[in-house]
Amino acid sequence: MIGAECSLHTWERQPGIWFADPGEIEAHYGRRLLLAPGRRHELRDLLPVREVDGRYLVGDEARTVVTVVFEVPDPAAARGAGHG
């Protein structure tokens, strides 16, 4: 082993982007995809949109995520500061 210590950090990833109405969704993604305004309605069937409490969500629900952090000792500290 290389002497690394491992720690786990559990957190919750928030859902995707919230919008006030479907038109706002079409405008947002239409601009990002450089669609002409007259074609933005084509996005309606392509995006995973859900209505929750009067707001519109694009993307997944919140989910639990784990970040793994490896803490590797500094080789200079092991030799002693200034002894290199």
| pLDDT value for 16 | 76
Alpha helices in 1-84 (DSSP H): 22-32, 75-79
Residue 29: strand, helix, or coil? helix
Domain ranges of the chain: 5-79
Residue 12, pLDDT above cutoff 80 = yes
Q: How confident is the model at residue 84 (pLDDT cuts 50, 70, 90)?
A: low
- What are the pLDDT digits (tens) for 17-75? 889 999 999 999 999 999 999 999 999 889 988 898 899 988 777 788 899 998 887 77
Residue 5: strand, helix, or coil? strand
| pLDDT value for 78 | 61
| pLDDT value for 74 | 76
